[in-house]
Amino acid sequence: MIRYRIQELLAEKQFREGRRVTLLELAEATGISRVTLSKMVNQRGYGTLTDHLNKLCSYFQCRIEQLAEYVPDENIPNSPEIDS
Q: Does any domain span residue 32?
A: yes
Range of the domain at 29: 2-67
pLDDT reported for residue 74: 73
pTM of the full predicted structure? 0.80
Give me the number of domains the chain comprises: 1
For residue 51, count other CB atoms closer than 10 A to its CB.
11
Q: Does any domain span residue 62?
A: yes
Q: Block means of pLDDT (10 residues each) for the chain, length 84 residues?
A: 94 95 96 96 90 96 95 68 47
pLDDT reported for residue 75: 59
Q: Does any domain span residue 27?
A: yes
Q: Do residues 71 and 1 lie in contact, with contact meaning Cβ atoms separated by under 8 Å?
A: yes
Assign residue 41 the CATH number of its domain: 1.10.260.40
CA atoms within 13 A on the CB side of 42: 7
pLDDT reported for residue 78: 62
